[in-house]
C-alpha cells in the first residue's frame, strides 16, 4: 500500500510527464465552471450575493412635482421655484421660455395691458423673456411659492410690497449679471435671463436652493375614449390685442393657446404654447393714476372657472394671506384636482 508521500510523488511525476495535457484539461475545467456561474446560476436566480457579476440598479423613487404634477425625483421636487415677470406687449412677442414653466399667471399690468408671471421649478429654460417690471399681484404669487423673484424694477406699490414681504428679490437694477439685453430688440422689450442665471443670482444673495412647497392636487389624464371631440373658450381681457382663446386638443388632452387671433408661439421652438389646465379667476382691480401700475387684488377670494379634460367646471378661489397658497375649489368647496403639466391662470376683472 502506497504512503501519502509516495502517492503525491507519483502525481507530481505524472504532471511533469504530461504537463501539456494537464494544462489543457485544467483550462477546460475553469472555462466550464465560469460559464456555469455566469449563465446557469444567473438565469435561475441562484447567485450567491458575493458571487454576483451584475449590480442591481435601484430606480430612484419619483414623486409628483408640487406645481406641475409631473413625476420627478425627490431632489427636484425640493428645488426652490423661480418667479419671473414676462412682458406681453405686442413688441415683446413672441416670448421665450413660457413652455418650460410649471405655472403661468396672466393679469393686468397697466392701462389694459396684460403681463405674465412664469413660475419655474422642475424644468430649465435657456432663455426667458422679455423680463419686465413687478406688480403687486406678482409679488403675492412669488411670496406664496417662496420663489426667487426676477423682474426689472417695478411700480412704487410693487417695490414697497417687495420690501414689506421680504421677498427673495432679484431686481435687474441691482443684479445685472443675472440678465442680458438682446440688441436685436428695442428697449425696454429686450431684457432676458435663464433659469441658471436666476438660480446663481439667488445663491449669490444667500437664498437657499431648496424649500418646501404646498403641492396642488393632481391626477392622471382622462382616458381618450371619454374626452370630448372639441371645446374652446375665450378670455377677452382688454380687446383684440390681448384677447386669449384656448382650443382643446383631444389627442394630447391639452388646450392650445391663441393670442390676438393667432397661435401663441414660443420664440425659440416656434411651437404653439399649450396648457394641461386653464384656470380663470375673477378679482378686484385698482387702477393707478392715469391707468398705470394696476393693482389686482389676489389676496382674498372670488369666483373661478376651471378648464380640465376639455370641460368647464365652476368654482371659487381663495388666498387667505400673501404667503398662503391660492386654493382652487369646486362648487362644493373641494379642492380642484389638476392634470399633470403646465397650468395657465388667467386673472380677469370681477
We report the CATH number of the domain holding residue 298 as 3.50.90.10
Domain range for 272: 71-349
Q: What pLDDT sits at residue 51?
A: 46
Q: Within this chain, do residues 144 and 274 fall inside the same structural domain, yes or no? A: yes
Residue 144 belongs to some domain of the structure? yes
Q: Within this chain, do residues 170 and 289 fall inside the same structural domain, yes or no? A: yes
Answer for the pair 139, 145: CB distance below 8 angstroms, yes or no: no
Q: Within this chain, do residues 248 and 291 fall inside the same structural domain, yes or no? A: yes
Digitized pLDDT (tens) for each residue of the chain, 350 residues in all: 556 655 556 665 555 665 665 555 565 566 555 555 555 445 544 444 444 455 566 678 999 999 999 999 999 999 999 999 999 999 999 999 999 999 999 999 998 999 999 999 999 999 999 999 999 999 999 999 999 999 999 999 999 999 999 999 999 999 999 999 999 999 999 999 999 999 999 999 999 999 999 999 999 999 999 999 999 999 999 989 999 999 999 999 999 999 999 999 999 999 999 999 999 999 999 987 667 789 999 999 999 999 999 999 999 999 999 999 999 999 999 999 999 999 999 999 99
Residue 64 belongs to some domain of the structure? no
| β-strands 311-319, 327-330 pairing | antiparallel
Q: Within this chain, do residues 300 and 248 fall inside the same structural domain, yes or no? A: yes
Q: What pLDDT sits at residue 17?
A: 60
Q: Within this chain, do residues 237 and 177 fall inside the same structural domain, yes or no? A: yes
pTM: predicted TM-score of the whole model, two decimal places? 0.84
Q: Within this chain, do residues 15 and 98 fall inside the same structural domain, yes or no? A: no
Residue 108 belongs to some domain of the structure? yes
Residue 336 belongs to some domain of the structure? yes
Spatial distance between the Cα atoms of 326 and 217, rounded to a whole number of angstroms = 12
Q: Total structural domains in the chain?
A: 2
Q: Within this chain, do residues 21 and 96 fall inside the same structural domain, yes or no? A: no
Residue given cell 421665450 in the structure block: 96
Residue 278 belongs to some domain of the structure? yes
Grid cell listed for 10: 507519483
For the chain, the straight-line distance linking the first and the last C-alpha, in angstroms and rounded, comes to 112
Q: What pLDDT sits at residue 333?
A: 97
Q: Within this chain, do residues 230 and 280 fall inside the same structural domain, yes or no? A: yes
3-state secondary structure the chain: CCCHHHHHHHHHHHHHHCHHHHHHHHHHHHHHHHHHHHHHHHHCCCCCHHHCCCCCCCCCCEEECCCCCCEEEHHHHCECCEEEEEECCHHHCCCECHHHCCEEEEEEEECCEEEEEEEECCCCCCCEECECCECHHHHHHHHHCCCEEEECCECHHHHHHHHHHCCEEEECCCCHHHCEECCCCCCCCCEEECHHHHHHHHHHCCCCCECCCCCCEEECCCCHHHCCCCCEEEECCCCHHHCEEEEEECCCCEEEEEECCEECECCCCCCECEECEEEEEEEEEECCHHHCCCEEECCEEEEEEEEECCEEEEEEEEECCCCCCCEEEECCCCECEEECCCEEEEEEEC
Q: What pLDDT sits at residue 1?
A: 57
Residue 210 belongs to some domain of the structure? yes
Residue 62 belongs to some domain of the structure? no
Q: What pLDDT sits at residue 97?
A: 98
Contacts of 206 (CB under 8 A, 6+ apart): none
CB atoms within 10 A of CB 257: 21
Q: Within this chain, do residues 34 and 171 fall inside the same structural domain, yes or no? A: no
Spatial distance between the Cα atoms of 146 and 141, rounded to a whole number of angstroms = 9
Contacts of 72 (CB under 8 A, 6+ apart): 62, 63, 64, 65, 122
Cis amide linkage into residue 94, ω under 30° from 0 = yes
Q: What pLDDT sits at residue 41?
A: 47
Contacts of 3 (CB under 8 A, 6+ apart): none
Of the CA atoms within 13 Å of residue 164, those in its CB half-sphere come to 11
Q: What pLDDT sits at residue 47?
A: 45
Answer for the pair 133, 161: CB distance below 8 angstroms, yes or no: no
Q: What pLDDT sits at residue 45?
A: 44
Q: Within this chain, do residues 43 and 77 fall inside the same structural domain, yes or no? A: no
Q: Within this chain, do residues 270 and 234 fall inside the same structural domain, yes or no? A: yes
Q: Within this chain, do residues 43 and 8 fall inside the same structural domain, yes or no? A: yes
Residue 63 belongs to some domain of the structure? no
Amino acid at each position: 500500500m502506497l504512503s501519502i508521500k509516495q502517492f503525491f510523488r507519483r502525481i507530481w511525476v505524472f504532471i511533469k510527464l504530461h504537463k501539456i495535457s494537464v494544462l489543457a484539461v485544467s483550462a477546460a475545467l475553469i472555462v466550464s465552471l465560469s460559464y456555469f456561474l455566469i449563465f446557469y446560476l444567473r438565469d435561475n436566480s441562484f447567485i450567491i450575493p458575493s458571487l454576483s457579476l451584475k449590480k442591481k440598479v435601484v430606480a430612484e423613487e419619483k414623486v409628483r412635482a408640487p406645481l406641475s404634477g409631473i413625476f420627478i425625483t425627490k431632489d427636484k421636487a425640493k428645488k426652490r421655484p423661480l418667479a419671473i415677470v414676462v412682458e406681453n406687449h405686442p413688441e415683446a412677442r413672441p416670448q421665450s421660455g413660457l413652455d418650460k414653466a410649471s405655472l403661468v399667471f396672466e393679469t393686468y399690468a397697466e392701462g389694459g395691458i396684460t403681463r405674465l408671471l412664469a413660475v419655474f421649478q422642475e424644468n430649465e429654460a435657456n432663455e426667458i423673456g422679455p423680463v419686465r417690471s413687478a406688480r403687486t399681484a406678482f409679488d403675492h404669487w412669488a411670496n406664496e411659492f417662496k420663489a426667487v423673484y426676477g423682474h426689472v424694477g417695478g411700480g412704487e406699490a410693487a417695490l414697497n410690497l417687495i420690501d414689506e414681504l421680504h421677498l427673495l428679490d432679484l431686481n435687474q437694477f441691482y443684479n445685472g449679471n443675472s440678465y442680458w439685453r438682446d440688441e436685436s430688440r428695442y428697449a425696454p422689450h429686450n431684457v432676458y435671463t435663464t433659469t441658471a442665471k436666476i438660480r446663481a443670482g439667488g445663491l449669490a444673495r444667500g437664498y437657499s436652493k431648496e424649500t418646501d412647497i404646498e403641492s396642488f392636487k393632481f391626477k392622471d389624464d382622462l382616458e381618450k375614449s371619454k374626452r370630448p371631440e372639441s371645446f374652446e373658450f375665450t378670455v377677452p381681457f382688454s380687446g383684440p390685442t390681448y384677447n386669449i382663446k384656448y382650443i382643446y386638443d383631444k389627442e394630447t388632452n391639452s388646450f392650445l393657446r391663441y393670442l390676438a387671433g393667432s397661435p401663441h408661439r414660443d420664440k425659440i421652438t416656434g411651437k404653439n404654447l399649450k396648457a394641461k389646465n386653464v384656470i380663470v379667476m375673477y378679482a378686484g382691480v385698482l387702477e393707478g393714476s392715469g391707468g398705470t401700475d394696476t393693482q389686482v387684488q389676489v389676496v382674498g377670494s372670488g369666483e373661478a372657472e376651471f378648464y380640465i379634460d376639455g370641460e368647464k367646471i365652476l368654482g371659487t378661489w381663495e388666498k387667505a394671506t400673501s404667503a398662503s397658497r391660492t386654493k382652487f375649489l369646486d362648487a362644493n368647496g373641494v379642492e380642484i384636482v389638476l392634470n399633470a403639466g403646465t397650468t395657465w391662470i388667467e386673472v380677469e376683472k370681477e
